[in-house]
Structure 1
Amino acid sequence: MKQFPLFLVVLLLNSCQYFEKQVPSEKELLQKELKSINWKEVDEFPSVADCEKIADKKLRQHCFFEKMAQLIQEKLDVDSLSILYPELDTIEVKVTVFPNATMKFEPQFPKDSVAYDTIKIDSILHARLVDFPKVNPAIKRGVPVKTQFILPVIIKEKSTK
């Protein structure tokens, strides 16, 4: 029994090493966390009400892109782009969805696009691409973020009867 206090003292002196662990600094932890985040991907893609019920991430993304392309095509079908520029069958539109759920559309033209008036096409697109349904922005780590993507929009030629 006389050895018990001695044993307890030796045990306490040995256990001190467990209390003196190095705690990483706040900046080190922040840097480590920032490096581990993949900034090229979002946790949830933007979505419209019609696609909200889809649980699978890839199917929801596909639904959103299809719905956006369809809406843009419907808005451009009533316009004269196909009459003014019959050689123009597809326009690539850069869509930006902002964290506050607003959208911006910018047509993307090839570098050698001198065959048609890009300013006129741009103004037609800006006039037509308004009044879209509410779009929920993309989510990254629980925070709404800005996303950009390019949609190929097929300009349907009106049939003449």
Structure 2
Amino acid sequence: MKNYHLFLVIILFNSCQYFEKQVPSEKELLQKELKSINWKEVDEYPSLQDCEKIDDKIQRKNCFFEVLTQLIQEKLSTDTLSLLYPKLDTIEVKVTIFPNATMQFEPQFAKDSLNYDRVKIDSILKLRLVNFPKVNPAIKRGVPVKTQFILPVIIKVE
């Protein structure tokens, strides 16, 4: 019986440490969680309907970029851009996909490309790069997010 009382006293004193622990504040927990998030990566990349069937994340990403680049090249190949600027063989297009699944395209020019009419090229791109298939936006922690990337688009002379 004596051992039983001694055992209860030891358990009682050891259990007190469980009640004295300090609970971190909401701000501390939020800051810790925000620091643990990699803001430069998304959980799921944007995707097109054609690429939805692919299960592998990297293959789906590659499919999306290949299909989108091909669609942009097809839309620009029927234009006079290659006739107006025969030396312009590749143009970099900054693609922005918003959380509401809308897309925006902007040409990116090198600093030494002063001989191109940027306004004219931008207007041609805005006219041609319309009516794309539905794009599912990128997902970060279950929430659709805005993503941006630059695609090199080869302008084909036909």
Smaller-chain TM-score bracket: over 0.9
Q: Residue 93 of structure 1 aligns with which residue?
A: 93
Instruction: Indicate the SS of the match to 1:24.
Output: coil
1:13 Cα deviation (Å)?
3.0
Length-normalised TM-score, structure 2: 0.94
Instruction: Indicate the SS of the match to 1:63.
Output: helix
Length-normalised TM-score, structure 1: 0.93
Once residues 3 and 63 of structure 2 are traced to their aligned partners in structure 1, the CA distance between those partners, rounded to angstroms, is 75
5+ residue gaps in structure 2? none
Once residues 15 and 66 of structure 1 are traced to their aligned partners in structure 2, the CA distance between those partners, rounded to angstroms, is 61
| Alignment of 1:55 onto 2:55 | yes
Q: Residue 105 of structure 1 aligns with which residue?
A: 105
Write out per-residue CA displacement over residues 95-125 of structure 1, whole angstroms, 9 at most, x where no aligned residue: 0000000000000011122212111011000
Q: Cα RMSD over matched residues?
A: 1.3
| Alignment of 1:74 onto 2:79 | no
Once residues 120 and 130 of structure 1 are traced to their aligned partners in structure 2, the CA distance between those partners, rounded to angstroms, is 17
Once residues 136 and 87 of structure 1 are traced to their aligned partners in structure 2, the CA distance between those partners, rounded to angstroms, is 35
Larger displacement relative to structure 2 (114-123 or 91-100)? 114-123
**1:66/1:3 Cα in 2 relative to 1: closer, same or farther (>3 Å)?**
closer
Once residues 54 and 26 of structure 1 are traced to their aligned partners in structure 2, the CA distance between those partners, rounded to angstroms, is 39
Q: Residue 27 of structure 1 aligns with which residue?
A: 27
Write out per-residue CA displacement over residues 15-61 of structure 1, whole angstroms, 9 at most, x where no aligned residue: 21122112111111111110010000000000000000111111111
